[in-house]
A = this chain, B = another copy of it.
Amino acid sequence: MELYNLKDRARFQERGPYNDLIHDMYTFRMIVFNFEPGQELPVHHHPADSEVALLVLEGEGFFTGGKEDLPARPGSLLICKVEEPHGIRANTRMRVLVTIAPPI
């Protein structure tokens, strides 16, 4: 049983998103991506039979990779297969909890 306080872990860097690994087990992986304005997770996909959930914790931007960009605000949750193209673009400082299961 482990307790994390995600609000205390905000950290950003100029050279790209700061990826904060929270949990990495055979069950699932959780990472918080911390974006400065304008930073992004480029659209990508993986050839694996897993799914990914992207939950916006703070800030605003867009989910990318679909037919059109989708607005991403606190409480926005995107779920897709990891083999589907997906990405994130931050308009403000933005923090996104990424869950991947099973981990790839």
Give A contacts to B, CB under 8 Å: 1-8, 22-23, 25, 27-28, 30, 50-51, 53, 55, 57, 63, 65-66, 70, 73-80, 84, 86, 97, 99, 101-102
Contacts and interface: CB of A to CB of B under 8 A. Distances in A.
Contacts of A84: 1
Query: Which label, helix, strand, loop or mixed, suits the secondary structure of the A interface?
Result: strand
A104 to B, nearest CB: 11
Contact of A7 (B1, B75, B86): B75
Nearest to A99: B99
Contacts of A7: 73-75
Interface centre among A51, A97, A101 (most CB of B within 10 A): A101
Contacts of A30: 53, 77, 79
A74 to B, nearest CB: 7
